[in-house]
A and B are shown apart, each in its own frame.
Chain A
Amino acid sequence: MPGSVAYTKPWAVLWGAATLALVYVVVALALKVRSFARGGALPPAPRPAPGRVAGIWLAEVLLQRQLLQLSPLRWAAHLAIAWGFAGLALLSAAHVALPALASVSLDGGAAAWLLRGEGRAIGKAWGNAWGLVLAAGLVLALLRRLIAPPEKAKEGQGTKEGDLPLVLFLLALTLSGFALEGLRHALEAATPERAAALRPWLTALWTAHGLGGVGLVAWLPRSTLLHALLSPLVIALNARGEHPRRDLYWPKTTRHRAGG
């Protein structure tokens, strides 16, 4: 029976930390929004063309066309990280939202299907697939920095300090998720003695993975990761005024790549 493998999960610790983190994030983001509201009105812009703005947003945010123009390797790493994050965030959101909806009978049975029923395998496959994509992106980013740094990084022009630790932390978080899955499978097939030895490890890893994820969420408003929320917004806002500019959204960057 899926989900029957039991090990201790300190839910109270995790939910306590998650609640604190979420309250902190909500307050921090609300303060940010309040600080944005100090600004004045936007200057008049050309009449927005919704189709064109949507096209720009799709190309620049979902497909990250500008990064592809700047560096295919950087694009592959960033796209994999962004999509991996989005895929896993969606799964996490479903795990939080569906039980909440189920408690007021608004989930249409989806919570039971995804969390305990036949959908559980699909959820696992979804999580593993996006976890792999995220890990691939992080490994690419790491290789790019450690083995084949871009020219500008060699010249001290690269991404600002704090970036490498962040990549390492995210990679550790991703790999701990896979390790957790591996140990869970090992537990299913283990003898009672072996299982007893594995359970504390699973509990420790589950706690570290969970708290790591919570920490990442709490760090969001204070770190450059905030760009994951604000960049798509800025791209949409600026595209409203700049949608007629072909030199900005479809430039021939590779032809004019700067030497340094």
Chain B
Amino acid sequence: MAQDDKAQGGRVAAGLSWRQLIELEACARCGECKGWCPVYTQDAREAICARGKLDGLRGLVRGSLSEGERSVFLESLYECSACGQCHVVCPVRIDTPELWEQARLALGRAGFPRPESQTRALAGIKRHNNSYAKPQAERGLWAERAWQAGLLLAPVRLWRERPAPVLYFAGCTGSLDPAMQFVAVLSARLLQEAGVDFAILGPDEPCCASKLRRMGDETFPQEAAQRIELLRGLGAETIVASCAGCFKGLHGDFARLPGGVLPVLHLTQMLDRLIAAGRLPLRHAVPLRVTYHDPCHLGRHSQIYEEPRRVLAAVPGLEFVELARAGAFSSCCGMGGGLKLANEGLQHRMGAHRIREAEATGASAIVTPCQTCCIGLANGVKETGSPLRVMHLNEVLARAVCPEITPEKVAAALAAGG
């Protein structure tokens, strides 16, 4: 049995990089990560914080974990949103998000089980090429229906019909989640308002596959290679993603694979540039006091902090107030890394915690440019019964640019079209 454990530990070790194996031993066990960890804040178990997970992984690699310790470690590894807060505060600078994702991959390869809900989700993504188990043919419907409903200035053209300098990558959630399709519609409208020549892939748009990496699926490199080949083959000057998760996948994860450096911008970067160039007229005042929630995938993972704040600062009439924990220290809403699939209740508590932090600013709305965070924060609002409004950054901008288009109108129009 002990030999089996050692052999299994050896297989896990082989799935990590040698630098990560050094990181396991370099942890000073100081516990700084605990004070900041948004998961530990809601569920104070040693195993769940970075120090506990490093302990568990170290034991697993050595083959010295008992049966009970091993199951505690496995549970806690997947009950982590890989938000990266522990990375920012670690005095040793251990690259924890990368470690958790790689550990999940290594454990999968070594035959350890992952939560059933994540296994199902991963199989679904690979089977349907999206996270919503919907036919690919539906991917571009939002654009067609929005045009038919008069929500756009012009039809959004498909790349296969006529390529453009800019490819707008709407992502699974923007394309297929009825509650979040307004993000794609408003993205398209704002790009049109600024006169950007763009096209979408529509039914040809693949899932970015970043969730496979987040949850440690071993087919990620092959799946990503296919996407890289497809996107490179398009020859777009710029790929714009409105989803923070897709952006991290296309911009961060792909860049670590052969040929994976793509000309990707997040929508907020594009809008920031358009506003600075005077191409996006913000004509209407938006008299709101808002605060800003940094999505982990956009902030800590991609270091995009200033652009969304500059966009908000450009909105006339908007009063901005910063959260106590912002930027690199933003508390995670709990939606990332497959945490919601592994422990939904925990995500709700994390969302609620973030909402309470936002309430403390005195703002009437919390704004974020990530639709996944919108969902996570909305769960927090439900959990707390807070009057705080959760707004996508596109919604705030639309109020300043084209106030006749609201998320509610978009949802109604798309639902009527379906």
Contact = CB atoms under 8 A, between A and B. Distances in A.
B87 interface: yes
Contact of A247 (B16, B41, B324, B327): B327
A48 B35 CA distance: 32
B183 to A, nearest CB: 25
A250 to B, nearest CB: 10
B320 interface: no
A20 B180 CA distance: 66
B25 A226 contact: yes
Interface string A218-254: 0000001011001101110111011001111001110
A43 interface: yes
B27 A227 contact: yes
B147 interface: no
Contact of B14 (A40, A227, A231): A40
B222 to A, nearest CB: 16
Given A39-B16, A224-B28, A234-B26, A247 B35 contact: no
Contacts of A233: 22, 26
Contacts of B31: 152, 157-160
B298 to A, nearest CB: 12
B34 interface: yes
Contacts of B293: none
Contacts of B20: 39
Contacts of B61: 35
A79 to B, nearest CB: 12
Interface in A1-32: 32
A234 B328 contact: no
Nearest to A238: B93
Interface in A171-211: none
Contact of A43 (B35, B256, B305): B256
Contact of B329 (A44, A227, A253): A253
Interface residues of A, number: 46
**Residue from the set B32, B88, B95 with the largest chain A CB neighbour count within 10 Å:** B32
A151 B350 CA distance: 21
Contacts of A237: 19, 22
A239 B256 CA distance: 17
Interface in A33-51: 35-44
Nearest to B261: A44
A67 B91 contact: yes
A104 B326 CA distance: 61
A108 interface: no
Q: What is the predominant secondary structure among interface residues of chain B facing chain A?
A: helix
Interface of B: 10, 13-23, 25-32, 34-36, 41, 51, 61-62, 87-95, 98, 256, 299-300, 303, 305, 324-329
Given A238-B93, A253-B89, A43 B22 contact: no
B15 A256 contact: no
Contacts of A239: 93
Nearest to A163: B29
A160 B61 CA distance: 21
**Residue from the set A64, A70, A151, A242 with the largest chain B CB neighbour count within 10 Å:** A70
Contacts, number: 134
Nearest to B95: A238
B51 A160 contact: yes
Nearest to B329: A256
A93 interface: no
B13 A32 contact: no
Contacts of A165: none
A12 B51 CA distance: 42
Given A35-B13, A36-B18, A247-B299, 6 more contacts: A39-B21, A41-B17, A64-B91, A66-B91, A70-B89, A231-B28
A242 B303 CA distance: 11
Nearest to A233: B22
A130 B95 CA distance: 33
Contacts of A35: 13, 21, 61-62
Contacts of A226: 25-26
Contacts of A260: 35, 41
A60 B25 contact: no
A233 B26 CA distance: 9
B40 to A, nearest CB: 8
Contact of A40 (B15, B62, B328): B15
Contacts of A235: 92-93
A66 B326 contact: no
B19 A230 contact: no
A32 B25 contact: yes
A242 B91 CA distance: 15
Q: Can you list the 6 inter-chain pairs with the closest CB atoms, starting with the nearest? A: A256-B329, A39-B18, A230-B26, A227-B28, A247-B328, A38-B13
B61 to A, nearest CB: 8
Contact of A39 (B14, B26, B36): B14
Contacts of A147: none
A258 B25 contact: no
A247 B94 CA distance: 14
B300 A247 contact: yes
Contacts of B98: 43
